[in-house]
Structure 1
Amino acid sequence: MTTITLLGTGLLGAAIGQRLLQVGFCLNVWNRNPARCAALTGAGAQQLNQPVEGLEASSVVITVLRDGPVTAKVVGSLGPLGGRCVLPMGTMGISESIALAEQVRLQGGSYLEAPVLGSRPEALEGRLLVMAGGDPNLFEAQLPLLRQLASEPRLMGAVGTGAASKLALNQLIASLTHGYSLALRLVQSSGLDIDRFMEVLRPSALYAPTVDKKLQRMMSHQYGDPNFSTSLLRKDLLLFLREARLAGVNAMALDGLANLLKRAVGTDLDAGDYSALHELTDGR
């Protein structure tokens, strides 16, 4: 039975871990906050005091950590990798992923970036969207594992293309949510009934399913129990802006949205569902 080391057991990492246990993998788990491993250890995972402890028995190391610098630090603590594959599934910058690939090579391992789109429900059901970047042969070798998490894992290209795909998609999440919130604010201020507006929007080419997913939260102003927080949305948007500038892309139109999201820092909105962005578009 294959043993995997999972580093990072937040909302998404824990769900990925649960899925791997359900489909029969042996699992070693580590988190900076050991208490966040409790659900997985209760389901049969082995908890590690240090990330390196489970390395000898593992063939693959999956990381689901907050960002690129944290991932590089934790992976660095593993020391020599002995040919093992490192699969980062969290969001990081294109340049960060390329640098981490080189770090892993110097540590004697192989590297396949595999960021995912989706959250806890999709992870538990094996319906994540996996956007891999790296060597095609390595991708083929890891397909049996990736297919337990996604029905159609995709190889986007070389290292960096998976990271670019994930950042582009998360930027769309931020922009779509912002645009929808602005539309709702104007519609409401005019006295138009939201349901009447939605009857026009849904059959149009402008409609996106995320609109209905977030409408109830925005209308009820309830943002608890998030799968993806305002804080993480802001982090990823700022990362997109940094990478866009490195690539020579003029993304200055997004600076206002980034500044708007910064207003959530230190408030309850930051830990809430990212649709809490709707509270920030109230100009009164």
Structure 2
Amino acid sequence: MTTFSLLGTGLLGAAIGHRLLERGFTLNVWNRNSRRCGSLVEAGAQQVKHPTESLDRASVVLTVLRDGPVTAEVVKSLGPLDGRTVVPMGTMGISESVALADQVQMQGGAYLEAPVLGSRPEALQGDLLVMAGGEQSVFDAQLSWLSTLASQPRLMGPVGTGAAAKLALNQLIASLTHGYSLALRLVEASGLEIERFMEVLRPSALYAPTVDKKLKRMLSHQYGDPNFSTSLLRKDLRLFLREAQLAGVNASALQGLATLLESAEGTDLDSGDYCALHELTAGR
């Protein structure tokens, strides 16, 4: 069985760790906030004080960290990788992932980006959507354990394509949530009952399940206990805008949404579920 160095044990990282432990894999775990390793240690993981200590007997370095710069910093701190494979599963920019792949190669390791769509519930159930980017041989070597996290892990193409798919999907999360929020606001203001509107929307080609998934939160204004926060959505939208600019894509229409999300910074909405952006579309 593969031994993992799991770096980053937040909501998603911890859930991935629990899934791997449940399936019999061995984990060495590290997090800057050591207390966030507690549940994994109780489940059988070995906690370490420094990332380099996590390399003991590990053949795969699995990172689930906040962003690209943090991931690059932590991976660099590992020193020589001696053939180990580094697999970042958090969201990062395309250019950041390509740069990290070069860094890993210089450190003597192999690289496979594997960002995911889904959060804690999907990770615990093995229902994540894994979008890998890298060489076919590296993907094939990691497929057995990736298949415990996702029913059908996909190799999108070379390094950068997995990151591109993830950013594109997270942009859709932001845009869809914003669009539905605006629709609900106007419907509500007109005096039309939301459920009457939903009866028309659900059978139409415009419907996406995410609206019903978030509708109760949006109408009750309850955004606690999030699996994906407003602050992370804003971060990822900023990343999308930066990568779009680098790719020559005109994404200027998204600037207004990015500005809207920035108004949540420093408020309670920032730590709430990302559909808290519904509060930002309320009339003043």
For the aligned pair, the TM-score class normalised by the smaller chain equals over 0.9
Residue 207 of structure 2 corresponds to residue 207 of structure 1: yes
* CA distances 1:228-279 after superposition (whole Å, capped 9, x unpaired): 0000000000000000000000000000000000000111000000000000
| Stretches of structure 2 lacking an aligned partner (at least 5 in a row) | none
Offset, 1:190 = 0.1
* Superposition map of 1:85-104 within 5 A: 85-104=85-104
The letter of the residue matching 2:118 is G
Residue 234 of structure 2 corresponds to residue 234 of structure 1: yes
Q: Which residue of 2 aligns with 1:127?
A: 127
For residues 2 and 96 of structure 1, the distance between their equivalents in structure 2, rounded to whole angstroms, comes to 27
* Superposition map of 1:1-284 within 5 A: 1-284=1-284
Question: 3-state DSSP class of the match of 1:20?
Answer: helix
Q: TM-score, normalised by structure 2?
A: 0.99
Offset, 1:159 = 0.2
| Stretches of structure 1 lacking an aligned partner (at least 5 in a row) | none
Large movers: runs of 4+ above 6 Å: none
The letter of the residue matching 1:176 is L
Offset, 1:2 = 2.1
Task: Kindly tell me the number of residue pairs found equivalent between the two proteins.
Answer: 284
Offset, 1:56 = 2.9
For residues 17 and 2 of structure 1, the distance between their equivalents in structure 2, rounded to whole angstroms, comes to 13
Question: 3-state DSSP class of the match of 1:24?
Answer: coil
Offset, 1:54 = 1.8
Offset, 1:220 = 0.2
* CA distances 1:93-131 after superposition (whole Å, capped 9, x unpaired): 000000000000000000000000000000000010000
Offset, 1:178 = 0.1
Offset, 1:11 = 0.4
State the Cα RMSD in Å: 0.5
Question: 3-state DSSP class of the match of 2:149?
Answer: coil
Offset, 1:221 = 0.2
Question: 3-state DSSP class of the match of 1:108?
Answer: coil
For residues 54 and 279 of structure 2, the distance between their equivalents in structure 1, rounded to whole angstroms, comes to 44
